[in-house]
Amino acid sequence: MNPRTLVRLEGALVGIGATALYVLQGRSLLLFLALILVPDLSMAGYLHSTRVGAASYNAVHTYLGPGVLAAAGVLAAVDLAFGVALVWTAHIGADRLFGFGLKYADREFGDTHVQQL
């Protein structure tokens, strides 16, 4: 199997897994729907420049942010933080499934790390 397909399958697994965990914990579906596209607000950086857009998009489209938020939520016993981290993780997983990857500062928006695989 080629790497691009593997990245997409990983995205599917992560996105479905995070969503399933969110639902199985009995969390608010309304909150899920309200938050699922929030990470895409980071695309507003492209209004300034490709470099700023890529940096802002990449900052919120890696698993680092939701991983840190989930850990902080668990350690500080802030359940909402863990729930938000699950939604954020589901968003990133769905992006990878559909071929949206991390951006390059010197390339078009659609030219991502997934296309380079």
Along the chain (117 residues), what's the average pLDDT of each consecutive run of 10 residues?
93 98 98 98 95 96 98 98 98 96 86 74
Domain assignment of residue 105, yes or no? no
Domain assignment of residue 111, yes or no? no
Domain assignment of residue 104, yes or no? no
Q: What pLDDT, on a 0 to 100 scale, did the predictor assign at position 114?
A: 79
Cα atoms in the 13 Å half-sphere on the side-chain side of 47: 4
Q: What pLDDT, on a 0 to 100 scale, did the predictor assign at position 41?
A: 97
What distance in Å separates the CA atoms of residue 13 and residue 7, rounded to the nearest whole number? 10
- Stretch (H or E) spanning 82: helix 79-97
- Give the total number of structural domains in the chain: 1
What distance in Å separates the CA atoms of residue 95 and residue 97, rounded to the nearest whole number? 5
* Residue span of the structural domain in which 88 resides: 3-97
Domain assignment of residue 14, yes or no? yes
pTM of the model: 0.93
Domain assignment of residue 34, yes or no? yes
Domain assignment of residue 77, yes or no? yes
